[in-house]
Amino acid sequence: MTEVMINASGVTRNFSISRGMFRGKQLLRAVNGVDLTVTRGEVLALVGESGCGKTTLAKILLGLLPQTTGSVSLCGTPIDTVPRLALARMIQPIFQDPYSSLNPRKSIGSIIGLPMRVQGENDQQLIDRRVEETMDLVGLPPRLLNAFPNQLSGGQRQRVAIARALVNRPQIVVCDEPTSALDVSVQSQILNLLNDLRQELNLTYIIISHNLAVVEHIASRVAVMYLGRIVEQADTASLFQNPQHPYTRALLDSVLTPDPHLGLPNTQLGASYPNPIDPPSGCAFHPRCVNAMPHCAARAPSGQAHKAAYVECHLYDGTETAKAG
């Protein structure tokens, strides 16, 4: 019943940042020890501010970047041992910007058919049939088959990107901010489409987004990332009703719901997002945390289950009471 689609443990990805010719290199830990399990049919949302490592994590899952340490397995097979084409049949991306995700020199039909041709399919009739089927599935009229991306609206382009991802019927789809480049009225259409497709094709989604309203609407579970680590993970309803980590609370506070009777929230996140090259000591969130305690700067918290959530915070690991007592 609960088939594990993605299992990541201790995934770390480092980048070395050159500081110029004579100054050596610095280490940037974009993803720093992430554990993640996603089961079939789940929609896991990765949320966090820019620079928190959510896009790097997605690239590792897609096989576009190798992890530095740790292990990732898709459908029970370690990702490093899955051949390229088999991996492509398993997991597919949808990108944020539908203007840069489609090759401007290729027709819509050829863009959507590419994944099939790459898999070695040579029967053009079969490809055409499948492309038209998929276009119908995502709500694109067949007359667009020979159009070029620049003749399409943003919403149509995003549908093409979705069709390309789905043409080989993958099991997992990684959506990187699938609606944030789109207009409000188009955004809802794409969200509805993603929801319908998931049910129809029994897909598993990983949604990367900074729009928490969208996340609440579409995700079944949420992982909050901060400076390369997952600081809180819980199912959507409990995360939104009862956030545990101070950072999650601040993120939820800053969601601007369209309610004219509420004023602007004061998120109390004084300092700006830290430089990932030079992360704060101890708990990386402590300089911005309203609940920061002296030992937060000294030691990184270890994660544990608290109520329905997994949290990484000294508020819940007993050190607070130990100190008080």
Partner 1 sequence: MTDHVLNVKNLSVDIPLADGVLHAVDGIDIHVDRGETLCIVGESGCGKSLTSLAIMDLLPKKAIRTLAALDLGGESILDYSERQMSDIRGNRMGMIFQEPMTSLNPAFTIGNQMVETLHRHRNISGRAAHDLAKHMLEKVGITAAAQRLNQYPHQLSGGLRQRVMIAMTLLCEPELIIADEPTTALDVTIQAQILLLLQELQTEFDMGLILITHDLGVVARIATRVAVMYAGQIVEQGTVEQIFDNPMHPYTRGLMQCIPVPGKTRPGEPLGSIPGMVPSLIGRFTGCRFADRCSLVTDACRSDDIALRDATDATQAYRCILDPRAMAKVA
Partner 2 sequence: MASSSKSEPVKIAAPLWGRSLRHQGVVIGALIVAMVVLIALCAPLIAPHDPYYQDLLARLKPPVWDDRGSWDHILGTDHLGRDYLSRLIYGARISLLIGIGAALISGLIGTIMGVMAGYFGGRVDMVVTFLITVRLSMPVVLVALAVVAIVGGSLQVVIMVLGLLLWDRFAVVMRSSTLQIRSMDYVAAAQAVGCSTTRVLMTEIMPNVVNNLIVIATLEMAHAIILEAALSFLGLGVQPPLPSWGLMVSEGKDMMLFEPWLITIPGVALFLLVLSINLLGDGVRDITAPENRN
Chain residues binding partner 1 by CB under 8 A are: 49-50, 153-155, 183-185, 187-189, 191-192, 195-196, 210-214, 216-218, 236-237, 240, 250-251, 253-267, 269, 272-273
Inter-CA distances, 87 with 32, 92, 127, 165, 194, Å = 24, 9, 20, 13, 21
Please state the closest distance from residue 60 (CB atom) to partner 2, in A: 12
Distance CA 39, CA 36 (A): 10
* Contacts (CB under 8 A) with partner 2, residues 73-92: 84-85, 87-89, 91-92
Contact call for residue 136 and partner 2 (CB under 8 A) = yes
Tokens 């009471």 belong to which residue?
321
Residues whose CB is less than 8 angstroms from the CB of residue 244 and which lie 6 or more positions away in sequence, other chains included: 232, 234, 306, 307, 309, 311, 313, 315, 316
Distance CA 57, CA 30 (A): 8
Contact call for residue 16 and partner 2 (CB under 8 A) = no
Please state the closest distance from residue 212 (CB atom) to partner 2, in A: 23
Residue 211: name its binding partner from partner 1, partner 2, none (Cβ under 5 to 8 Å by kind). Answer: partner 1
CB atoms within 10 A of CB 255: 13
- Name which position in 144, 172, 230, 239 contacts partner 2 (CB under 8 A): 144
Tokens 């579970």 belong to which residue?
221
Distance CA 217, CA 43 (A): 11
CB of 146 or CB of 268, closer to partner 1 = 268
Q: What is the DSSP code string of 13-71?
A: EEEEEE-STTS-EEEEEEEEEEEEEEETT-EEEEE--TTSSHHHHHHHHTTSS--SEEE
Strand partners for 175: 94, 207
Contact call for residue 191 and partner 2 (CB under 8 A) = no
Please state the closest distance from residue 102 (CB atom) to partner 2, in A: 6
Helix (H) or strand (E) holding 319: helix 319-324
CB of 210 or CB of 306, closer to partner 2 = 210
Contact call for residue 193 and partner 2 (CB under 8 A) = yes
Q: x/- contact string, 36-65, with partner 2 (CB under 8 A)?
A: -----------------------x--xxx-
Inter-CA distances, 44 with 127, 202, 236, Å = 31, 14, 9
Distance CA 285, CA 291 (A): 10
Contact call for residue 124 and partner 2 (CB under 8 A) = no
Contact call for residue 158 and partner 2 (CB under 8 A) = no
CB of 115 or CB of 243, closer to partner 1 = 243
Contact call for residue 154 and partner 2 (CB under 8 A) = no
Q: What is the DSSP code string of 267-291?
A: ----SPPPPTTSPPSSSTTGGG-TT
Please state the closest distance from residue 281 (CB atom) to partner 2, in A: 32
Residue 187: name its binding partner from partner 1, partner 2, none (Cβ under 5 to 8 Å by kind). Answer: partner 1
Residues at the contact surface with partner 2, assessed by CB under 8 A: 59, 62-64, 84-85, 87-89, 91-93, 95-97, 100-106, 114-115, 118-119, 136, 138-141, 143-144, 147-153, 155-156, 159, 161, 164, 168, 189, 192-193, 196
